């Protein structure tokens, strides 16, 4: 903790996970009360996600890499619900990088993203998960699949810090809506394919 006499600065929040219920993940909030120049007291609520899943080394742990179809993203925007994932694969970790391959992807427009699912609820890209999107998180763009393989696309995947997680909770873009993992991933389509892309943690 490093603060000045007015109480402004950086504060450290520490949790005793042994005192918490035995669950893989927990969600709570911190309420910060403050005054500006002696004015009326205000408060800000900050969401806190607690996970017993430990990050090892420079990786984010078990990672899902997946595609979202344009139509499914549009449907979720209109309904305000979750986004159905078209297909997903597990990222294969080697030397600090995840590789992955999609085969038999039909022509169309897709988002390429990655996320952990530490709480095992089949929802990814939600609060507390490591997240990434091509080419940049929160500035992703569609990939057009036509009639040829697409290779060598890379993007970062990481856990958001406290400020980023709190700010993202108010964002209304499709980047924030949780995605639903398919229980039985299968495209059953023909060429072209998306193959061998790297996701860097």
Give the residue-averaged pLDDT of 26-30.
75
Q: Same structural domain for residues 74 and 41?
A: no
Is the confidence at residue 172, as pLDDT, over 60? Answer: no
pLDDT at 76: 87
Which tops the pLDDT comparison, 77 or 176? 77
Residue 165 has pLDDT above 60, yes or no: no
Q: What is the pLDDT of residue 88?
A: 93
Residue 58 lies in a domain: no
Look at residue 176 and tell me whether its pLDDT is greater than 60: yes
Q: Judging by beta carbons within 10 Å of its beta carbon (0-12, 13-18, 19+), is residue 176 exposed, middle or buried?
A: middle
- 158: DSSP letter: B
Is residue 87 classed exposed, middle or buried when 0-12, 13-18 and 19+ CB atoms within 10 A define those classes?
A: buried
pLDDT tens, 57-80? 667 888 999 999 999 998 888 888
Average pLDDT of the segment spanning 106-129: 88
- Does the pLDDT of residue 198 top 80, yes or no? no
Determine the straight-line distance between the first and last CA of the chain, rounded to whole angstroms. Answer: 28
Q: Is residue 143 part of a domain?
A: yes
Q: Is the pLDDT of residue 56 over 70?
A: no
In a domain, 56, yes or no: no
Cα of 164 vs its chain's centroid, Å = 11
What DSSP element (H or E) covers 78?
Answer: helix 70-79
Q: What is the pLDDT of residue 186?
A: 38
Give the residue numbers spanning the domain of 116.
Answer: 64-200
Is the pLDDT confidence value at 50 over 80? no
Q: Do 44 and 76 belong to one domain?
A: no
- The pLDDT, as a whole number, for residue 175 is 55
pLDDT at 131 exceeding the cut of 70: yes
- Residue from 111, 86, 85 nearest 178 by CA: 85
Average predicted confidence (pLDDT) for the chain:
78
Q: How many domains does the chain have?
A: 2
Q: How far apart are CA 104 and CA 102, in angstroms?
A: 7
**Same domain (yes/no): 16, 81:** no
36 and 68 assigned to the same domain = no
How much is the pLDDT for 58?
66
Retrieve residue 47's tokens.
């969401």
Say yes or no: 172 and 90 in one domain: yes
Would 151 be classed as within a structural domain? Answer: yes
Does the residue 57 lie in any domain? no
């Amino acid at each position: 903790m490093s603060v000045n006499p007015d109480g402004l600065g950086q504060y450290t929040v520490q949790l005793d996970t042994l005192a918490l219920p035995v669950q893989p993940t927990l969600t709570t909030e911190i309420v910060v009360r403050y005054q500006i120049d002696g004015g009326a007291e205000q408060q800000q609520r900050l969401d806190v996600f607690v996970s017993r899943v430990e990050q090892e080394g420079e990786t984010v742990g078990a990672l899902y890499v997946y595609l979202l179809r344009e139509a499914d993203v549009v449907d979720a925007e209109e309904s305000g619900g979750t986004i159905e994932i078209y297909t997903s694969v597990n990222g294969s970790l080697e030397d600090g990088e995840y590789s992955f391959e999609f085969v038999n992807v039909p022509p169309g427009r897709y988002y390429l993203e990655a996320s952990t699912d530490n709480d095992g609820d089949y929802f990814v890209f939600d609060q507390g998960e490591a997240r990434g999107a091509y080419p940049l998180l929160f500035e992703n763009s569609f990939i057009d699949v036509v009639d040829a393989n697409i290779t060598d696309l890379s993007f970062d995947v990481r856990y958001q810090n406290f400020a980023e997680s709190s700010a993202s909770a108010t964002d209304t873009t499709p980047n924030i809506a949780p995605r639903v993992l398919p229980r039985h991933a299968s495209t059953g389509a023909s060429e072209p394919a998306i193959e061998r892309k790297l996701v860097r943690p």
